[in-house]
Amino acid sequence: MDQANQQDSSLASPRTRAAAFSVHIFTALGAGIALMAQLEAVREHWPAMFGWLGVALVIDALDGPMARRLNVVDVQPNWSGEVLDLVVDFVTYVFVPAYAITASGLLLPLAAPLLGIGIMVSSALYFADRRMKADDNHFRGFPALWNAAAFYLFLLHLPPVLASLAVAILIVLTFVPFHVLHPVRVKRLRGLTLSLMVIAAVLGIYALVNDFDAGPVTTVALCAIAVYIAASDAAIRLLRSLRR
């Protein structure tokens, strides 16, 4: 801890320090939410599991702006919000979804445990990679969004061979340096992106309420939004190269 941070922390009032620390508690609450999701997964209550993971997503979306607004880094320098966020993200984005993907029967029985291990190992390496984000805040490679991948596997209910192949491809894509849109931090087309995220959230809730029997229109719309998130940067780069 450097001297400037020490000074900022010592000058902060008890109320300010308490408010800053409450953000860490709010972030850590995501770990408790992950436990609730895991309990539902063990019971094979898959829509409820995704509901809890959705709550974790809301926490993850809110804690960063809250931390910046309250200057948590300087007011509470002894607590690493970055490390805390990574720990919580790993259990909500990776561990619980990996269990669901492996235990749900969506994959080939022989492949399921191996692919589950592959998800965990590749994601752990990805979370430790300092190059996981590009300078413009795009993710590099498949950003270990296994909660989203699991949701689409349940939604599409592919044959086990295709589902296993899809998971294997995503594991490989974790290490391929293409860019994936960060829905909040990428400035380009942010208004469109956030609007699509709201639509996806509403459609996703509809799918969960109906136990993934969402109908073709909802399914196609959700898949189109996923394609936008995954491929919009590549499409823009291609168009720019063709204009030159």
Q: Quote the CA–CA distance of 138 and 17 in Å, as a whole number.
A: 32
Q: For residue 233, which of 196, 175, 170, 189 has the smallest C-alpha distance? A: 189
Q: How high is the pLDDT of residue 10?
A: 58
Tell me how far the alpha carbon of residue 42 is from its chain's centroid.
Answer: 21
Query: Encoding tokens for residue 219?
Result: 């399914």
User: Which phi and psi (to 5°) does residue 180 adopt?
Assistant: -115, 135
Q: How high is the pLDDT of residue 96?
A: 98
Cβ 235 vs Cβ 179: under 8 Å: no
- List for the chain the helix, strand, coil content (%; round to 5): 75, 0, 25
Q: How many domains, in total, are found in the chain?
A: 1
Q: Quote the CA–CA distance of 238 and 244 in Å, as a whole number.
A: 10
Per-residue pLDDT of the chain (244 residues; tens, 9 = 90+): 444 444 455 567 888 889 989 999 999 999 999 999 999 999 999 999 999 999 999 999 898 889 889 888 888 888 888 899 999 999 999 999 999 999 999 999 999 999 999 999 999 999 999 888 887 778 898 999 999 999 999 999 999 999 999 999 999 999 998 888 888 778 888 889 999 999 999 999 999 999 999 999 999 999 999 999 998 878 877 777 777 6
Q: How high is the pLDDT of residue 3?
A: 47
| Enclosing domain of residue 148 | 3-243
